[in-house]
């Protein structure tokens, strides 16, 4: 693994987080035309077809592909789409999803000798305080159910990060395409069971260019480019360096939602964002600063 996270990989990561930040507004617009689980199923179908016939399957087991596909396709995006469909504002959803940073590091440390240093406990307290601010202001466009769904989706994202990281340096386009095979069947099963054939048929018949453009954005921009590049970075650079870049997703998510959707920016929302991003940043950057401080000789 390469240790140096220079400006080139940083620019790649910044491009990904910009695409992901805009994505929350795209999701909000799309679930106004497609039921959320149908939208998720269409998104991953567009990833699989027609690329699965042209992209070689990466040299990893079917079990690894299945775990990643289910965690990202069903766990992360299935739950996130349901949450944004009236349970939480997209700007706040973009903020809550960054709990994946803490979850990813916690899962990476699982089974190792690494332990939290004191500054990380403080960072965790800040993050918890930010989540508490959001829960205390649920109502209207934000519900407890929406917050819970986003946090579980963030945990699934983190688990998917770990699965991909353990797969090593594989062709990420092939990894994303072939793992998506395992997301499509359960998503279609869920949409038929929970949203119903009548609603599905009506949505497909009435979908316009903007709706199908959202599907294309999800498949090409968010999944093939976003997760392909993100996985490539995770396989080559320290998890802390890559994961810390995702702290910028809410900047794009909240900003675009405010500009495009007219989503209001409340003082409590900004306070929660500051606490959560500050806590996650402390969790990522704190250990290095703590070790540097501890290495400085007294006097």
Any idea where the domains of the chain sit in the sequence?
Answer: 7-121+142-266
**Has residue 257 got a pLDDT over 70?**
yes
**Has residue 134 got a pLDDT over 80?**
no
Measure the CA–CA gap between 24 and 90, rounded to whole angstroms.
5
Average pLDDT for the chain = 84
Tokens 């016939």 belong to 53
Q: Average pLDDT for residues 210-220, to the nearest whole number?
A: 93
Give pLDDT, residue 34: 96
pLDDT digits (tens, 9 = 90+) for 142-195: 788 998 999 999 999 999 988 988 888 788 889 989 999 999 999 999 999 999
Q: How confident is the model at residue 206 (pLDDT cuts 50, 70, 90)?
A: very high
Q: Name, of 98-102, 216-220, 236-240, 288-292, the range with top average pLDDT.
A: 216-220
Give pLDDT, residue 226: 87
DSSP SS3 for 57:
coil
Instruction: Please tell me which residue, 290 or 76, carries the higher pLDDT value.
Output: 76
Give pLDDT, residue 222: 87
**CB atoms closer than 10 angstroms to residue 176:** 28
Phi, psi (degrees; rounded to nearest 5) at 142: -130, 125
pLDDT digits (tens, 9 = 90+) for 11-33: 898 899 899 889 999 999 999 99
**CB atoms closer than 10 angstroms to residue 240:** 17
**Has residue 295 got a pLDDT over 60?**
no
**Has residue 2 got a pLDDT over 60?**
no
Contacts of 11 (CB under 8 A, 6+ apart): none
């Amino acid at each position: 693994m390469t240790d140096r996270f220079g400006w080139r990989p940083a620019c790649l990561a910044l491009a990904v987080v910009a695409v992901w930040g805009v994505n929350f507004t795209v999701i909000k617009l799309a679930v106004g035309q497609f039921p959320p689980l149908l939208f998720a199923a269409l998104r991953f179908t567009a990833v699989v077809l027609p690329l699965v016939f042209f992209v070689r399957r990466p040299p990893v087991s079917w079990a690894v592909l299945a775990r990643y596909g289910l965690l990202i396709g069903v766990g992360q995006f299935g739950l996130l789409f349901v949450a944004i469909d009236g349970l939480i504002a997209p700007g706040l959803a973009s903020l809550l999803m960054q709990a994946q940073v803490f979850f990813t590091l916690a899962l990476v440390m699982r089974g190792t000798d690494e332990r939290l240093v004191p500054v990380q406990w403080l960072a965790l307290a800040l993050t918890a305080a930010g989540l508490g601010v959001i829960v205390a202001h649920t109502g209207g466009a934000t519900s407890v159910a929406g917050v819970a769904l986003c946090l579980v989706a963030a945990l699934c994202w983190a688990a998917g990060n770990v699965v991909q990281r353990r797969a090593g340096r594989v062709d990420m386009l092939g990894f994303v395409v072939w793992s998506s095979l395992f997301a499509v069947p359960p998503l279609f099963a869920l949409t038929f069971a929970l949203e119903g054939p009548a609603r599905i048929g009506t949505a497909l018949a009435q979908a316009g260019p903007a709706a199908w453009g959202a599907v294309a954005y999800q498949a090409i921009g968010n999944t093939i480019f976003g997760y392909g590049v993100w996985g490539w970075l995770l396989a080559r650079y320290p998890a802390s360096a890559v994961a810390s870049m995702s702290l910028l997703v809410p900047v794009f998510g909240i900003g675009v939602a405010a500009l495009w959707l007219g989503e209001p920016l409340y003082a409590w929302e900004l306070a929660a964002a500051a606490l959560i991003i500050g806590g996650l940043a402390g969790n990522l950057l704190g250990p290095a600063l703590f070790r540097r401080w501890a290495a400085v000789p007294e006097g």
